[in-house]
Chain A
Amino acid sequence: MEQIITQEKSKKHNYHTLKVLFEKETADFINGKRMLLFLLLMALITVTGLYAAVSGLADALESGNSSADFLFLKLFTVSANSIPSYNSLMALMGPFIGIFMGFDAINSERTEGTLNRLVSQPLYRDHIIIGKFLAGIFITAVMVFSSGILIAAVGLISTGLIPTGAEAARLFIYLCFCVVYIGFWLALAILFSTLCQHAATSALACIAVWLFCAIFISLLAGITADALYPVGGNDMESLMNEMDNYYCAQNINRISPYYLFGEATSTLLNPSVRSVNAVTMTQLSGALVSTLSVGQSMLLVWPHLTALGALMLLAFAVSYVSFMRQEIRAR
């Protein structure tokens, strides 16, 4: 009996240290100069997205070629002329929020000499990274949701669009996706911060991964697919290859969280997207022109969400393992 009580006590103590660490990290984010940077980035995404939405939506409505359904969700996806939409900005710039939050999480503590003091306290080492990660996610969630709600509110006022229940649900799921997406980059940044001795190195490594995912992987996918399944010839074979080529490129692209996010969010925000894969004419024949329900869209993007989450957990697990085994010395 006594043992159970002490066990309970130590369990409580465990969560207690995690809570203390979480609170400290959150306070650090909020009080730190870096918060200004996050706010600036977030404001950039929000304001640009909003501008694109309001002007783009008006254009789309005037020209009359836009379907009148789900106009509210278009707030997040329409772009005006050269100004990108909120969603594409989020896909492109969101990672920076995660990277800036995490790139020096562990190594700055190491260089400041606080890490060895911290790990000599009675706490589980993993709580240190979990605390930092959760604090980052918390801040991200607050920022993402406030910016999303801000856009919805401004859209509501300026266009008079009232979201339906389904639209609100989709928006909510979309914003959760954004948080997971940024969370992946945060986990990656924390990973590099445990592996690299210097904050500058880990920042560069993160940005390199981002560049790769955002730009190079699509080039790579195209080249690989063309090499494996050549197309463009006039013969029968290249016609046959057309489909394989597309799938091959798509599967390679799907390694990249950037691509996964883009695919998933465009499905979520556009209920008329019926499939994330190529659809043949035979499959399409007899299909009714209709939109998908929230649940069905969710089914389509469920693999994306799991993949993103798995990538995030993988990055997290690797940093966890490498951090647990590290020797921690003073500078």
Chain B
Amino acid sequence: METVVIQTKGLTKRYGELTAVDHLDLTVYKGEVFGLLGPNGAGKTTTTLMLLGLTEPDEGEARINSLNCTLDSIEVKKIVGYLPDNVGFYSGMTGRENLRFTGRLGGLEGDALEEKIEKLLARVNMTEAADKKAGTYSRGMRQRLGIADVLMKDPEVIIMDEPTLGIDPEGIRELMWLIRDLAERDGKTVLLSSHQLHQVQRICDRMGIFVHGKMIACGTLEELGREIAHEGVNTLELAAYPDNMKLRDILNGTKGVTNIEKNSDVYVIHSSFDIRRSLARELAEQGYTIMHLRQAGSDLDEIYRKYFEKAGEQSGADHHTGKK
């Protein structure tokens, strides 16, 4: 049985008329990397704020390690590290001094503190810039220092709001690696929000798609893809060598295929169920080399788009009925 670390029940936050977070039920397990995805204004930041007790929910409750996030916020903050979006540092102090301040607030002193600072600076690649004033840092450097700052108190749970914002590609790769490492080796639980679907896809165990304050889908990448696939037809992209007339016949003859389009040298095959296995075997037997075979919808980009379209339709329909 997996241990539940973060759990919200009916969590709701309203700003006047607008419901920023709408009855959110979210469960995140220990050692898991969970991604919150959603367009701007979906309520991701608001959710993270409620998890840290930085804003009070209007309804429902959030618990971290079964501590109430609103009432026991001090205890929660002891075990949760938070990286806000657009993190800032005291511009008059160096990066190292900023970290030292955080460390001392967490109760560290002396050699243990200095050692930890050194280690974390190295971990986020900021050793060289550590003794410059934080006011001179670039966006990405601030972000890196922010990550070191989060790790300063050795949190069990890490909540990051758009951690990859402003970091260069190499830095993102390192950060992704770092996050996976934290989850896998140190057993930490990570909740992150992001727009960068490709990265989320690579490192998150599970993800939730957020639209207008509601979580419309939640699960692993495969689960999300499967769910969307159940909605309608399977779509497959295929390119094979040699690309001749016989290939088309084989495709047409495969059981379950409903429609075939050709897009330059890629066939787009619609079918009533997943035909990847059978098709691949068939083509291999006939001596074809498969150059490209991809289930459309298994990519987060498309899953995301589809869910988003679906949510749009739904809210459109709601709107319509509401008018009547």
Contacts and interface: CB of A to CB of B under 8 A. Distances in A.
B157 to A, nearest CB: 12
Interface stretch (A54-62, A120-128, A174-182, A239-247): A120-128
B101 A24 contact: yes
Nearest to B76: A122
B54 interface: yes
Given A13-B107, A121-B77, A112 B45 contact: no
A328 B54 contact: yes
Given A327-B49, A329-B45, A330-B85, A120 B92 contact: no
Contacts of A122: 74-75, 77-78, 105-106, 153
Which of A13, A123, A325, A327 neighbours the largest number of chain B CB atoms within 10 Å of its CB? A327
Given A20-B105, A120-B52, A121-B105, A113 B88 contact: yes
B55 interface: yes
A31 B77 CA distance: 30
A331 B105 contact: no
Interface in A272-307: none
A329 B49 contact: yes
Contacts of B101: 20, 24
Contacts of B105: 17, 20-21, 121-123
Contacts of A120: 52, 54, 77, 80-82, 84
A112 B91 contact: yes
A331 B102 contact: no
Which of A17, A31, A113, A123 neighbours the largest number of chain B CB atoms within 10 Å of its CB? A113
B92 A121 contact: no
Nearest to A331: B86
Contacts of A66: none
A32 B92 contact: yes
A124 B74 contact: yes
A190 B74 CA distance: 24
A10 to B, nearest CB: 9
Interface in A221-265: none
A121 B102 contact: yes
Contacts of B49: 327-329
Given A16-B107, A20-B101, A31-B92, A327 B54 contact: yes
B177 interface: no
Contacts of A28: 90, 92
Contacts of B91: 112
A20 B104 contact: yes
B307 interface: no
Contacts of B153: 121-122
A121 B54 contact: no
B87 interface: yes
B22 interface: no
Nearest to A20: B104
B156 interface: no
A266 interface: no
Interface residues of A, number: 26
B114 to A, nearest CB: 16
Contacts of B78: 122
Nearest to B162: A330
A114 B86 contact: no
B304 interface: no
Given A20-B101, A327-B49, A329-B45, A117 B88 contact: yes
Contacts of B85: 330
Interface in A21-63: 21, 24, 28, 31-32
A201 interface: no
Interface in A126-176: none
B129 to A, nearest CB: 18
A116 interface: yes
Interface in B78-131: 78, 80-82, 84-92, 101-102, 104-107
B149 interface: yes
B155 to A, nearest CB: 10
Contacts of A119: 54
A83 B270 CA distance: 93
A116 B106 contact: no
B89 A114 contact: yes
B132 to A, nearest CB: 16
A138 to B, nearest CB: 18
Interface string B136-148: 0000000000100
A117 to B, nearest CB: 6
10 contacts: A113-B86, A113-B87, A120-B54, A120-B80, A121-B105, A122-B77, A122-B105, A329-B45, A329-B49, A330-B86
Interface of A: 13, 16-17, 20-21, 24, 28, 31-32, 112-114, 116-117, 119-124, 325, 327-331
Interface of B: 45, 49, 52, 54-56, 74-75, 77-78, 80-82, 84-92, 101-102, 104-107, 146, 149, 153, 161
| Shortest 9 CB-CB contacts between residues of A and residues of B | A113-B88, A120-B82, A327-B55, A330-B86, A122-B78, A122-B77, A112-B88, A116-B84, A20-B104
Given A117-B84, A123-B105, A327-B55, 20 more contacts: A20-B105, A24-B101, A113-B84, A113-B86, A114-B90, A116-B84, A117-B82, A117-B89, A117-B102, A117-B146, A120-B77, A120-B80, A121-B77, A121-B106, A122-B78, A122-B105, A328-B54, A328-B55, A331-B86, A331-B88
